[in-house]
Structures are given as structure tokens and as C-alpha cells.
Amino acid sequence: MKVPIFRILFLVAAMLPALLAIGEAQSREYFLAGPQNQKYAVILGGAAAERYQAQFRQWTLKLHEILVRDYGYPADHITLLLGRGDPEASQIAGPCRLETILQAMERLRQKVQPGDQISVFFVGHGTSDGQVAKFVIVGPDITGVKFAEVLEGFSDQDIAIVNATSSSHPFCVALAAAGRVIVCATRSAAERYDTVFAQYLLQALENHNADRDKNRRVSLFEIFSYVRVKVNTWYTDQKRLPSEHPTLDDNGNGNLRTDPDPARGEVRLAQIAEVDTLTASLPFAAAKGPAAEALRAQTARVHGLERAVILLRNQKAQMSEKDYRERLETLLIDLARSTRQLDILQAGLQNEFP
């Protein structure tokens, strides 16, 4: 049976917005290292029984402290919502309730610019009944589907999710989308017992312990790799069967893997999604003037070239050996020259601000 041409045109017109959105998502460059790109963090500490409250408070406040001290986040770039709130702790913006989460995310949506990065950390308990996955908060819990709706308002920003809770896998699956990097504490809804993920997340971030390529920055893939080893070791030392298995997704299909391998082309964005802000690696972050601006611009250039090298290595399997080597050589030469120029600028600023 032939389909009338007007019917075909109608279907194409109806599908066009979605097709354009997919094309835009696929063509957009994520997690750029430009000097204008800002980074923000949202820390959500969920509701807990009394015996867990002190632990969640300690973990979330410690995470806030590390992001400010070691990763260059201004305090006003971090939103921390915890339990029922705590007016005595200035870092805590309010209670972790559905309405305060929605309000905080809306304020953030109005503040961020295209290309900014938002990292969301979930600390607490998660639940799933096989159909609906939730993050446990004070009052009505928030579902993965609901939080995914919230994230739709950040289509121009880069999104990194770290969910340290039990039964977090189906919650994280609901959040998967193009351009998002997700690190999750569990591999299924059945892993519903308390996790040790959060304590090793803090350990990974503290002193840049997870920085295995020694570039003085920590990526989401490095966090995942570090925490996965530590979690497995903990269960082995305790002589217990593991009830949590960290997983990662960065291609948007929701297939969170326990063993993603860059050599197989399975890790792309997670390697360039870094927690560090640009200013975290600057020795004179507070300096002003042309020399300081030149240093920031050159630092961003070096970071961008390092990003390009990582992306190229991820594409090696799809390229001829000749093309790969030529492009890699060009990038490495440019990186070496740019790094040398950065050293010169840093030395000059050192003389200006001894």
C-alpha cells in the first residue's frame, strides 16, 4: 500500500525537531577547557535514620571542603542540600527536600552559561521496586525520571553525575543522555544494601589521589577507576561478597558498565570530564592584569590540547595508522610548545608576584 506524500511530509515535519536535537547533541563538543567555561557542583545529602545522619553530614561537608580547597570552586558555585538542613553550617544551603532541590536547580539554571559544567553528587540511600528508582530525601522522594526532567533544563551545559547510593543503578539509567557522564555505585537495583562508595569517592578526590596520569587533574574516569578498585578491595578484606559494583556510562545509552575500557573505545567523555576548575591548576589564581589573563588563556590552551590527545587516542581504532600517527605527532608538538610557553608565562608572573 502506498503512503500518501502528504502523510510522509507530515511525519517528517513531526520528527524534525527530535532529529535536529539528536544531530545537535552528536555534533556538539562536550567538556571543553575554555577560560570562559565555569564549573558548578550540586551536593545532595539525603534523608537518613539517626545512626547515618552524622556520617552523611560528614561526607557532604567534606566533599564541599575538598571542592573549594583543592579543585578551585568558589563557595557560591556549590549548592549543598542536606537532610533537614542545618542553619549552623553556612555551607548547607537548606534541607534536601523535593521543593528545595527543584528551587536550587532552577536558580542554577538561570545562572549558568552554555558550555559550563555541572557536577551532581548524590550521597545517602536509594531505593527501587523494579519499576521506580528513588533517591531518599525528606518528604516525598525524588525519582530518577523526575531528576531527568530537571536536567532537561541544562541542555547547553555539560553534566557529570556521581551517585553513591544503594540501588542507584536504575536511577542513573534514567539520567543517561548524550553528553552526560555518569558514575554509579551499583550495577543493579538488587544491590540495595548500604554502600562504601562515598568514603572512597572522598579519598579519590582528596589530594588528587585518583590522578593516575599525573596531570594534576582528576577526571570522572579516574574517579571511577580508583573507587572501583578500593570498593573491591574493601569487600575482599572484609571477606564479604560484594553488594555494590561501581559502573560508568558516558555514551548516553544507559548501559552502565563495570569494566569500561578506553582501549576498546568504550570510554570517551569520562576521560575529559574533569572535576578541577581551570583556576585550580593556576599558581596565581587571584592575580589580575594582562599577564594573569595571558596565563589563564595559555593554561586553557594546554588543557584543550591534552583533551584533543585523549579524544584522538579514543578514535585510533577507526583511523588508519598513518593518519593517527600524523595527527598525534602534530598535537604532541603543539602541546610541547604550548607547555613551554606556559612555563615562561608562569615564570614571568612569579617575578611579578614573588
Which carries the bigger pLDDT value, residue 63 or residue 194? Answer: 63
Residue 12 has pLDDT above 80, yes or no: no
Q: What is the pLDDT of residues 298-342, one digit of tens each?
A: 888 999 999 998 888 888 888 899 999 999 999 999 999 999 998
Q: Are 197 and 231 in contact (CB under 8 A)?
A: yes
Q: What is the pLDDT confidence band of residue 285, given thresholds at 50, 70 and 90?
A: low
Which carries the bigger pLDDT value, residue 115 or residue 282? Answer: 115
The whole-angstrom separation of Cα 194 and Cα 83 is 17
Q: Are 313 and 264 in contact (CB under 8 A)?
A: no
Q: Is 193 helix (H, G, I), strand (E, B) or coil?
A: coil
HSE-up of residue 86 (Cα within 13 Å, Cβ side): 18
Alpha helix stretches (DSSP H) within the chain: 5-27, 50-71, 98-111, 144-151, 168-175, 197-205, 220-237, 269-272, 290-314, 321-352
Write 26-32 long-range contacts (CB < 8 A, 24+): 26/178, 28/179, 30/158, 30/179, 30/269, 30/272, 30/273, 31/117, 31/158, 31/181, 31/269, 31/272, 31/273, 31/274, 31/307, 32/115, 32/304, 32/307
Tell whether the torsion through CA atoms of 223, 229, 234 and 239 is positive or negative.
Answer: positive
Q: What is the pLDDT of residues 174-211, one digit of tens each?
A: 999 999 999 999 999 999 998 999 999 999 999 999 99
CATH assignment of 30-278, among 3.40.50.1460, 3.65.10.10, 3.90.320.10, 3.40.50.970: 3.40.50.1460
In the structure grid, which three cell numbers stand for residue 117, read together? 559544567
Q: Quick one: pLDDT at residue 344?
A: 87
- What average pLDDT does range 155-166 have in this prediction? 96
Residue 159 has pLDDT above 60, yes or no: yes
Mean pLDDT of the chain: 88
Q: Quick one: pLDDT at residue 27?
A: 53
Percent of the chain with pLDDT over 90: 67
Residue 351 has pLDDT above 80, yes or no: no
Q: Quick one: pLDDT at residue 243?
A: 93
HSE-up of residue 165 (Cα within 13 Å, Cβ side): 33
Q: Quick one: pLDDT at residue 14?
A: 43
Of the given ranges (1-5, 205-209, 275-279, 309-313), which has the lowest mean pLDDT? 1-5
Q: Quick one: pLDDT at residue 17?
A: 41
> 10 Å Cβ neighbour count for 318?
9
- What average pLDDT does range 204-230 have in this prediction? 95
- What average pLDDT does range 129-143 have in this prediction? 93
Which carries the bigger pLDDT value, residue 46 or residue 291? Answer: 46
Of the given ranges (136-150, 226-240, 300-314), which has the lowest mean pLDDT? 300-314
Where in the chain are the domains?
30-278, 282-352
Q: What is the Cα 3 distance to its own chain's centre?
A: 46
DSSP 40-91: EEEEEE----HHHHHHHHHHHHHHHHHHHHHH---GGGEEEEETT--TT-TT
Q: Quick one: pLDDT at residue 95?
A: 96
Q: Are 165 and 16 in contact (CB under 8 A)?
A: no
Q: Are 282 and 295 in contact (CB under 8 A)?
A: yes
The whole-angstrom separation of Cα 118 and Cα 139 is 25
Find residue 124's DSSP bridge partners: none
Of the given ranges (69-83, 249-263, 285-299), which has the lowest mean pLDDT? 285-299
Q: What is the pLDDT of residues 288-299, one digit of tens each?
A: 677 778 888 888
